[in-house]
Amino acid sequence: MTFTEKLNDILSARKSLLCVGLDAVMEKIPAPLRQSPEPLFQFNKAIIDATLPYAAAFKINTAFYEAWGLEGWRALEKTFAYLPAEVIKIADAKRGDIGNTSLSYSRALFTGLGADAVTVNPLMGTDSTAPFLQDPQRGVFFLCLTSNPGSQDFQHFSDGQVRLYEKIAVKVGEWNRHGNCGLVVGATHPAELQGLRSLAPDLPFLIPGIGAQGGDLENSVRFGLTAQGGGALFNSSRAILYASSGDDFAAAAAAEAKATRDALNRAKVS
């Protein structure tokens, strides 16, 4: 089974398009947890337990853990190990370098952490991305049109015929020989999302920006799904993780995850 097949099976089985982003910021973790021996992991564990009924995937941004050295990496390992097999586990690492370096990155993320998928910067080209694509069961979401305001600086560059993000989408389609390529496309670009889905009708999309970044949820669902009604994960991080800073943080996260899942499903059928 390819990564894309696994993703679509999970979307169908869990009846959810939601990806919960575990971007744990130490300073925002409730004070009692910050005093525990493993604050990052204990926070993640509570969030996972609370939001699991509503999620199809979890995306862990490795930077928030790498910043804490060995303690942070141990929290990463324990978080990936704690996530159950019935959800997609994404290492949001945005790697990409020359071949040998990318091979080591892929080993660290796929073998070391046990990620089902990773995020990769495609700008160094085919030789830098190929090491991530060797296993059809491991997915790679390539940065294409990101949700941040600075995406306008380079990703919209045009040679008069196509924009850079369109070129990336076409090239990633060519790399998709093993059925394990996808694109990162922000919900803050709903109009462009429609065009990208036309260029890449079958590639999975990882769509951030529907939460705190204020992306267009309804149109992102409308334009982001494949013709079969799948092929997309919609990530929300801060809006779920920090729905409350009090003792009820896990219950508040669960309520926000449920509301987001339900909103995505309503948009899917509207």
Residue 115 tokens, joined: 């990620």
Please tell me the chain's helix, strand, coil percentages from 3-state DSSP, rounded to the nearest 5: 50, 15, 35
How close are the terminal C-alpha atoms of the chain, in Å? 31
Helix residue ranges per DSSP H, 208-248: 217-224, 238-241
Q: Are 225 and 200 in contact (CB under 8 A)?
A: no
**Tokens in use for 51?**
């939001």
Closest CA to 252 of 242, 262, 261: 242
Q: Scanning the structure block, which residue is given the tokens 């850079």?
A: 164
Residue type, 217: L
Q: Is 28 a catalytic residue?
A: no
Round to whole Å and give the CA distance between 200 and 142: 13
Phi, psi of 6, deg, nearest 5: -60, -45
Q: Taking the C-alpha atoms of 214, 215, 219 and 222 in order, what is their torsion angle to the nearest 10 degrees?
A: -120
Catalytic hit among 28, 78, 94, 268: 94
Burial 77-95 (b: 16+ CB within 10 A, else e): eebbeebeeebbbbbbbbb
- Yes or no: say if 148 and 122 are a contact pair by the CB < 8 Å rule: no
Active site residues: 94
